[in-house]
Structure 1
Amino acid sequence: MLPIFGDERRRREINLGGSTSVSSQAAILDQARARRMEREAQRKREESAIRIQAWWRGAREARRVRQQLRRVFQEEVTGFTALRCLVLVGQDEDILFMWSKRVSQDDALLFGPAQGPDRDSWITLLRRVAVLLLRSVSSRADVPAAVSHLKVLCKLLDPPSTAKLLGPSGNDLSLCISQWLVQNDLYQYLGRAITTIDPEAKNNPSLPYLVKLLYLPLINFSPSSELFARSFSALVSHVFALPLLPNRIPLTSLSELSGQLPLAHLHVLSLCISAIISITSTSSRINIVANLLAFTSPRYTTLPVSSLKAYLQLLSALLNGLPPHALEPPLPRDSQTPLTSWADDGDSDSERPAAIIALRSVLPALDARTRKRLQTLPSPTHLNSLLKPAQQHPELLSELVSMLFSLILVWPSRKDKILTTLLSYGGGGLNLSSLMDPSLGSYWPPLLLLTDLYTQSLLTMGDDEFFSGSRTTLTLSELIPFSRTLFNIAFTLYWREDQTKIQEVTDSGLNLSWESVRDRITKCLQAIHARDSRRPFMPEDHWHVNSQIDMNSFVEAAVYEEQQVDESAVPRPSSRRQLTHFPRLSPRLGVLNNIPFAIPFETRVLIFRRFVQNDRMNRGFNHFGPRGKTEASIRRTNIAQDGYDRLSDVDLRAPVSITFIDQFGEPEAGIDGGGVFKEFFTSLCKEVFDTDRGLWLANKKNEIYPNPHSYATESHSLDWYRFIGRILGKALYEGILVEVAFAGFFLAKWLGKQSFLDDLASLDPDLYQGLVFLKNYTGNMEDLSLNFTVAIEEFGVAKALDLIPNGSNVLVTRENRLQYIYLISHYRLSKQIKLQNEAFFEGLSEMIDPKWLRMFNQQELQILLGGVNAPVDLDDLRQHTNYGGLYDNEEPTIQAFWRVLESFDQEQRRAFLRFVTSCSRPPLLGFKQLNPYFAIRDAGSDEHRLPTSSTCVNLLKLPRYQSEKVLREKLLQAISSGAGFDLS
């Protein structure tokens, strides 16, 4: 053998003269290793040369044989021998075209061997040639040869054509070749072939034949066969996965394909869905959705229920196979979208849903026409066309809602359209008594997701955005039916007599307990109702069920249930988080503590007073009796400190008897009888809520809230907050009105509710406007130079606190700004005053059962504390007035008195009310709730005296004025100057 690479083999050089050229033993070993490696490389080169020579000889021989087969083929292009040569030569485009061109022009040449003795061999060869034609077309369907190939394939697979020439055996031929091609990846090749044609070249002559090949196999196979399902699945996986499939096909062929597609048998795909998902990419799944929508949606009304069900299952699976936000417009390339989570930091007042800004995947850009076709999917018209059969056939409901649920995940910006349609169905046809039917299990995911999304959006939504509708997920007109649907569901879940079932039932499809479902819906309802409470926009009685429930029986039952809870071993909640789920065993208390707005406010106030009354009786206290009474001496010059010292550790639910000590250290004359405490309380409130004392600050509306300064968190200050909480609890317990206005976000803490961005407007308007500006900012976020810190200043020193770990090094970007806005708001509204809130709430809870307070919202709680800001009803006051001394209702001075009051405007009437009761607002439920009743007592005949009052017992001491004019002047002088409180 001649050396190919030259004679590189040499004799080994052996040095017998010693190691004169090698300096060390290591060098000798290196040289030996190098020579060994060189010999190994030489051996591999020789082996490779031998293999190359063998391959070359084989390739040369194969080329010779193929050339010989081509010569034989050309001698007889359409004969049986030519067909055999065609198969043996393989993928030779020239002779394939020669053959297909000839036989496509003459059916006798194509089908002639079927009548001869070599029929079976001819069919075997024909099947293999069909695969060769298919492969050729898949590489270039836009060339003339492809048209001939496709004509032959269509003739072979078309039963009418084969039956016309061969009789009944023609059907068997088409079936046989169809089966062979499907088993050899027919639809993969057809999909590739279509993609080789320019989407805009609709006049390409290959397209009509390609379209025909898409449905011919499905005609050959029985719909009940495995091959039919396999073919249909492959058609969806490889052809419907092409972008713009309807746009690639000529109009005539498109109508043909639409008419021939066996959509009535879509149900066969139900067992192939997982296979379709497993072999398709993200972009392909999006295309399948778009193309299925184009071909199937016009035929919804004609599809069998089983096929429509499978169609919805397939859509749902395809959408579930897409990443979140997959159908949203792609983000700019320079956008950095970190996956961040607003994790609950464990604060007891941080009861909020976890807010997540999901990472939006960067997907291949979708063609504008595909995106436009996808717009149909969440449109009301399209969804209504699906909802109609779902209403007629309840078995479709589960699949439809699962599809909607999946659609919302991948296209959240379209949730408003989906929401409106879904609510229309839920409000129009859902039987609330069957809400827990397991067959409706998959109805819940989309509704709950929408609920969570809307609740989450409210975290960073100001009232201006909410009411303008410019950036909200729902318009007010959409919000009304949505909230009513949620309200009906929540009320049904709370109203069940056996509440233990609520906790135990878990639907496998939903994978959530009904208690969790109820709580999530409740959170959303509470947030919506809070907006409506501040600025009403709901229809009258939108939140009430009083037309369906007898309120008198409701009150009695609620009081009874409260007594049962008191007598049970159920422990009282120790935190607001526990209070969210308490009580669990009582339907009416569940309504009152979670969706209290279902019951009219006046009814809830009456229930509250009944709860207090029962509590007092259970403890053995009565308002004027001696049992358990606490006596305290209070110096008039030191009311706040003495009150703190004397009453911090006593049970304030018991009657408290106050004795005032004058400036000389002597007890003041007068009998308390339970009323002097009211004077003490009024004076105490003036002191402890004075913002100059440092415990409270006031906003621009003069509403107070705890001072966030660090000294307000010291133990001594927290003890004062705890004491003030107990004192206000005493006021609520006794029904004493307090003319102190609290900031709404602080009142929310009493009720265990979270605060939102819009609450910040009442605390720090400048910060609120800044955050709204940031939320809507469209410029370069880097120009703002913001990071995740908050600036605070104490004792003249400014410092920055991290809102998240290492927040000073985390810049605020367009993607994480909602997280920043939420954390800033949460810090200012909650974390800064967390300890103050907890101390205050601890004291308040000692007096008032926290679940009693949860019957009200912030605005209602303020009314409960300070009375209703309504006109003074003189008829009501007169009806509930007692008289003493020489006075009665017919006495001339009394008659003149009422005429004078009627001549007063509302401001003067409020001033009079403050003069005699210490509060300018009338009691919420009318003057019958004034305890004791308003009374007028004869104060003698000296007309030079001014009227005086004893606010502790709501008593007016009125001299017997003979002149109505004098009475008016003296009364106005007294109420405007605050003249003398008199205990005599």
Structure 2
Amino acid sequence: MSLFSDEKKRKINLGGSSSGASPSQLRNQVRQQRELRQQQKLQAEAATKIQSRWRRTQAVEHLRIDLRQGFESDVTGINGMRCLVLLGYDEDALGRWCSTMLQQDWSSSMTDSWLVLARQLSARLLISAANNKPNALLYLQVLDRLVQHPMSGPHVLRYLLARNYYTHLAKSLLATPKMAPVYPPLIPLITTPFRTFPTSSPEYRASLSSLFSNILVIDVLPNRLPLKALTEFTSKLPLARMDLLEPFTLPPIESSINLLSNLLTFAPPFYPALKTALPAYLTLLTSVLNSLPVGAFEPTSQDKVPQQQTWGQDSDDEDITVRVVAEFTQPVRLPDIDPRTSKRLQSLPTPVHLSKLATYAKNSLEFVRFLLAVATVWPSQRTNVLSVVTQGWMRELYRGYIRGSNLGKDSSTVLSPSNADGWPAILLLADAYAQMLLTMGDDEFFGTGDAAKTRTANPLSLDELTSWTRQLLNISFALYWRDREGALGPVSVGLRVSWDSARDVVTRCLVAIHERDSRRPFVRPDHWHILTDAGDVQGFVEAAKYEEENVDLGEDLKAGRSRKQLVELSPRLGILNNIPFAIPFDVRVSMFRAFVMSDRQRAGYNHPLMFPRDRSLIRIRREHIAQDGFDRLETIDLKTNFQIEFEDQWGQVEAGIDGGGVFKEFFTCLCKEVFDTDRGLWLTNKQQELYPSPSTYAKESHSLSWYRFIGRILGKAMYDGILVDVAFAPFFLSKLLGRQSLLDDLASLDEELWRNLMFLKHFDGDFDALSLTFTVSQDEFGVTRNVDLVPNGSSVAVSRENRLQYILLMAHYKLAKQIKLQSDAFFEGMKEIVQPRWLKMFNQQEVQILIGGVDSLVDFGDLRANTNYGGLYDDDSPYIKLFWSVVETFDQAERRALLRFATSCSRPPLLGFRELVPHFCIRDAGQDEMRLPTSSTCVNLLKLPMYKNPRIMKDKLLKAIMAGAGFDLS
């Protein structure tokens, strides 16, 4: 063949297709040829790769054979170990090497090269064992010998710790059946690092953190281990060095629950030995608890345990438990928990465990945070938490963490981050002290008599309480007054309490102490006042009026705003409704009157003693004032003004126009009738103070309608500033304000029962001899029936352990449950007229003053300065001068009698006689000195004859006022 032959040259036809194909056909042919060439190219490349892979596989296989031969010829030597490393995860070779190694002594072979190879092989053994390979037991045995040997151990462990040592051990534990033989080497592998490395080394700390984050988070770990392995594991756990535990990210919620459960299994027996590690242990428990939802482990259904009610909670609520003082995000749904884990977790909040822990916690701040976290996760066990504090720790808590704290010393720095560490102690003590006050009598509180020596005596001195209440007051005031634009945020790091929750806890305790001071003062009256500067007070009053006019609580609640949100919108109203004593009483009374006046103006009502047009005319039979008032006023808006006319016994309308006096006369007579205890609706205590009857008759629908009507009438009196000469039992007024303190208020209902319960509280004898059960006897019309205080209460004996529960249940039944319907009806009627938020500006003693006037000395100087005169009398009349000179000689009993004679109420108005509507008036009643003075109480009018002789005037006045004579209807 010629070198320049044309056989292989590509033939190109430049003259076009000889076959006559069209251009499109030519294009298709070209495309097909191109695709064919591409396919041939890919096939060639694939063939090349297959050939390369085959050659490589063949080479590897030959190498593996060579390495295996090299290994077989020197199994435990350097060359053999090198070959084994290069062989990778050859389970047969690893098993052969392990079997051989277990039969030899390695000490003489441990050169540097040998240790390098041994480290690499140990990692192979660990991973294979974690994957539960057939030779897992062999692998763990060799690995155990490697890490236990003093020469190889540190090197191997250091290498493995950097390669997820505890992660693989945990995986091996999870893959191993309980009775498997791998546990003898597996358990030492977990604990060996703590015997190998010094506690100061980084390896020790890393091992400790890995142990907690990998091993102790295994589900039901104690149940996975055989008894012998469990004993060994427990004894070698480095719990006493938890102070070296480095912070680590908490695992997911399921693992966190397992960690908590395992710690509660392994740690309690070693509490005495933890010593310096106990704070770290408590911190870890607190962190885990704070990662769990509120009420995470509460049963889905449980009996309600009566404890302390929260501030602002309805006192009649069946569940009077101490609510958890935290507001968090929506709870996370918990995974299904193994019953064994759940059982262990329920041991954490028990009194036995908490008391044991408290013995060794040494009142540490970590223990304080821990208790708060426990109460958050187990709200129903809050009493157990607080009992740890109340049983001998409160004084130390105050003196150790609160007395020297800057938190609350100045209201302006309450929210400062520098005071963050002061919050846990002050919140725990406030909650515990409020709980303790529930069953603390006055003798215990003030440390008088034998009570000062009892175990329930007040742990804080009155001087300490004086200082502490000022701190609480500053905190509470600041949390209501804080910057509305600022973020609430947590109170402090590691404490799941919002600002609002902290405020509620502090306020509840503060109010409880103030109630005690109100009943029996132990601090100066101005101790409770925050705003004392006249300018600050005036500014506060004006701003509060503005908030009251612009915040409609009823409409806002319908619109979906919570009461706490409304407090945010109206901080001054929040102060007035929750800590009103921070504002002086006379200022609050003025604000009450201003709120009423503003309400009148908004609704278009006129003053009751004016003469407005188009007033409703109400006709009342004088012989049936209460019944006619009930029938005629049921559909009347009592805030409006209406006209009263009396009808005598013959059906004739009495002469006169109601300019206010007839109305007041009607009102005075009506109140006298409806509060008459003979009607069966009211009873009196030993102090002749009224409270609703607990009888069955008082709970009938007709009687409840009367309670509602009486509430409206009393509300009308307060709304119009009319003083009513009735006194209510303090516990009933406490119910009105939603501030009932069970045991303190019980004394105002039944002092004998209160003494008996106090005896039971301090009783140290045989409880079986008392034969008490959780029942209460109810006697009505000579028939006695027993009421259970708890389900099947007649079968539950009162014991030393549950006596406080019995005392609280008994008090709750007497004060709340047996008069719940009656009280609700009465309060419902009153709230139609007087806004509840207005009344919450006062405590029960102050509300009584609003109703019936101040129980203080009658100041005739003030009365004279606010007296009007009629007829022939004026301020310069000799008869008037003689009158004032005579009455100035009256003692207080006589002065009260004169005031009652002329106005129907023996107590002066709370802001002085300038508030008496209408003003006190004296009019002449002729010159007959033999005639006694008379009065028209409906218009506060004294009709005084023209006595010339001071002896005669005094004699006639005393005879009239002390005998109750002279009431004049004209």
Render the CA deviation track for 1:155-194: whole Å, top value 9, x for unaligned: x97xxxxxxxxxxxxxx98954885999999xx9xxxxxx
Matched, 1:545 2:509: no
Render the CA deviation track for 1:242-268: whole Å, top value 9, x for unaligned: 79999xxxxxxxxxxx9xx997x7657
Secondary structure of the residue that 2:954 maps to in structure 1?
A: helix
Which amino acid letter does the alignment assign opposite residue 596 of structure 1?
Answer: P
Counterpart in 1 of 2:599? 615
Whether the 8 Å contact between 2:898 and 2:961 is mirrored in structure 1 is yes
CA distance in 1, matches of 2:268, 2:821: 52
Counterpart in 2 of 1:218? 198
2:508 to 505, 519, 523: 523
Counterpart in 1 of 2:442? 463
What's the CA shift for 1:921? 0.8
What's the CA shift for 1:928? 0.9
Secondary structure of the residue that 1:697 maps to in structure 2?
A: strand
CA distance in 2, matches of 1:505, 1:121: 56
Which amino acid letter does the alignment assign opposite residue 198 of structure 2?
Answer: L
What's the CA shift for 1:709? 0.7
What's the CA shift for 1:473? 6.8
CA distance in 2, matches of 1:339, 1:567: 34
Matched, 1:942 2:906: no
Normalised to the residue count of structure 2, the TM-score between the two structures is 0.66
CA distance 1:497–1:295, change in 2 (3 Å): closer
Which amino acid letter does the alignment assign opposite residue 475 of structure 1?
Answer: L
Counterpart in 2 of 1:285? 267
What's the CA shift for 1:495? 2.0
1:120-269 pair list within 5 angstroms? 176=155, 217-218=197-198, 221-222=201-202, 226=206, 267=246
Render the CA deviation track for 1:311-368: whole Å, top value 9, x for unaligned: 87347569999xxxxxxxxxxxxxxxx98623999987328652599987799999xx
Render the CA deviation track for 1:789-809: whole Å, top value 9, x for unaligned: 322123322222233333333
CA distance in 2, matches of 1:526, 1:421: 24
Which amino acid letter does the alignment assign opposite residue 541 of structure 2?
Answer: V
Whether the 8 Å contact between 1:423 and 1:481 is mirrored in structure 2 is no
Render the CA deviation track for 1:111-135: whole Å, top value 9, x for unaligned: xx79xx9676799999x9xxxxxxx
Secondary structure of the residue that 1:555 maps to in structure 2?
A: helix
CA distance in 2, matches of 1:262, 1:812: 43
Whether the 8 Å contact between 2:491 and 2:502 is mirrored in structure 1 is no
CA distance 1:444–1:666, change in 2 (3 Å): same
CA distance 1:581–1:722, change in 2 (3 Å): farther
Counterpart in 1 of 2:757? 771
What's the CA shift for 1:834? 1.3
Secondary structure of the residue that 1:657 maps to in structure 2?
A: strand
Render the CA deviation track for 1:498-535: whole Å, top value 9, x for unaligned: 49977x99999655554444334433333332222212
Whether the 8 Å contact between 2:776 and 2:789 is mirrored in structure 1 is yes
Matched, 1:600 2:567: no
Counterpart in 2 of 1:418? 397
CA distance in 1, matches of 2:730, 2:738: 13
Counterpart in 2 of 1:726? 712
Which amino acid letter does the alignment assign opposite residue 313 of structure 1?
Answer: T
CA distance in 2, matches of 1:422, 1:511: 19
Whether the 8 Å contact between 1:947 and 1:958 is mirrored in structure 2 is yes
Which amino acid letter does the alignment assign opposite residue 617 of structure 1?
Answer: Q
What's the CA shift for 1:910? 0.9
Counterpart in 2 of 1:66? none
Secondary structure of the residue that 2:527 maps to in structure 1?
A: coil
1:534 to 500, 513, 519: 519
Whether the 8 Å contact between 2:676 and 2:682 is mirrored in structure 1 is yes
Matched, 1:884 2:870: yes
Whether the 8 Å contact between 1:880 and 1:934 is mirrored in structure 2 is yes
What's the CA shift for 1:632? 2.4
Whether the 8 Å contact between 2:154 and 2:196 is mirrored in structure 1 is no
Whether the 8 Å contact between 1:408 and 1:415 is mirrored in structure 2 is no
CA distance in 2, matches of 1:668, 1:627: 21
1:355-754 pair list within 5 angstroms? 375=359, 377-379=361-363, 411-412=388-389, 413=391, 415-416=393-394, 417-424=396-403, 426-428=405-407, 447-468=426-447, 470-471=455-456, 474-477=459-462, 478-496=464-482, 498=484, 511=496, 514-547=499-532, 550-566=536-552, 569-570=555-556, 585-618=569-602, 619-622=604-607, 623-754=609-740
Secondary structure of the residue that 2:549 maps to in structure 1?
A: helix
Which amino acid letter does the alignment assign opposite residue 470 of structure 2?
Answer: R
Matched, 1:342 2:312: no
Render the CA deviation track for 1:217-256: whole Å, top value 9, x for unaligned: 327845798468669999999999879999xxxxxxxxxx
Secondary structure of the residue that 1:610 maps to in structure 2?
A: helix
**Unaligned segments of structure 1, at least 5 residues:** 1-85, 91-95, 100-109, 129-152, 158-171, 189-212, 247-257, 298-309, 322-337, 388-396
CA distance in 2, matches of 1:320, 1:583: 27
Secondary structure of the residue that 1:889 maps to in structure 2?
A: coil
Secondary structure of the residue that 2:753 maps to in structure 1?
A: helix
Secondary structure of the residue that 1:762 maps to in structure 2?
A: coil
CA distance 1:800–1:784, change in 2 (3 Å): same
2:897 to 911, 914, 924: 911
CA distance in 1, matches of 2:257, 2:684: 65
Counterpart in 1 of 2:826? 840
CA distance in 2, matches of 1:655, 1:781: 61
Render the CA deviation track for 1:535-576: whole Å, top value 9, x for unaligned: 2224443322123672222222222211112499435899xx
What's the CA shift for 1:861? 0.6
Whether the 8 Å contact between 2:242 and 2:281 is mirrored in structure 1 is no
Render the CA deviation track for 1:829-859: whole Å, top value 9, x for unaligned: 1111111112111211111112111111111
Render the CA deviation track for 1:72-99: whole Å, top value 9, x for unaligned: xxxxxxxxxxxxxx99679xxxxx9xx9
Render the CA deviation track for 1:795-824: whole Å, top value 9, x for unaligned: 322222233333333333333333332222
What's the CA shift for 1:664? 3.7
CA distance 1:663–1:501, change in 2 (3 Å): farther
Secondary structure of the residue that 1:542 maps to in structure 2?
A: helix
**Aligned-CA RMSD value:** 5.4
Counterpart in 2 of 1:76? none
Q: How many residues align?
A: 761
Whether the 8 Å contact between 1:918 and 1:951 is mirrored in structure 2 is yes
What's the CA shift for 1:604? 0.9
Which amino acid letter does the alignment assign opposite residue 350 of structure 1?
Answer: D
CA distance in 2, matches of 1:487, 1:721: 37
CA distance in 2, matches of 1:364, 1:906: 56
What's the CA shift for 1:215? 8.6
What's the CA shift for 1:578? 8.2
CA distance 1:972–1:220, change in 2 (3 Å): closer
Whether the 8 Å contact between 1:218 and 1:231 is mirrored in structure 2 is no
Q: Which piece of structure 1 moves more, 905-914 or 519-528?
A: 519-528
Which amino acid letter does the alignment assign opposite residue 524 of structure 1?
Answer: C
Which amino acid letter does the alignment assign opposite residue 757 of structure 1?
Answer: L
Normalised to the residue count of structure 1, the TM-score between the two structures is 0.65
CA distance in 1, matches of 2:712, 2:889: 40
CA distance in 2, matches of 1:819, 1:567: 36
Render the CA deviation track for 1:347-402: whole Å, top value 9, x for unaligned: 87328652599987799999xxx9999757334xx66xx99xxxxxxxxx999997
CA distance 1:725–1:234, change in 2 (3 Å): closer
Which amino acid letter does the alignment assign opposite residue 585 of structure 1?
Answer: L
Whether the 8 Å contact between 2:407 and 2:413 is mirrored in structure 1 is no
Counterpart in 1 of 2:857? 871
CA distance in 2, matches of 1:118, 1:592: 83
Which amino acid letter does the alignment assign opposite residue 510 of structure 2?
Answer: L
CA distance in 2, matches of 1:591, 1:364: 37
CA distance in 2, matches of 1:879, 1:224: 87
Whether the 8 Å contact between 2:853 and 2:909 is mirrored in structure 1 is yes
CA distance 1:529–1:581, change in 2 (3 Å): farther
CA distance in 2, matches of 1:499, 1:964: 69
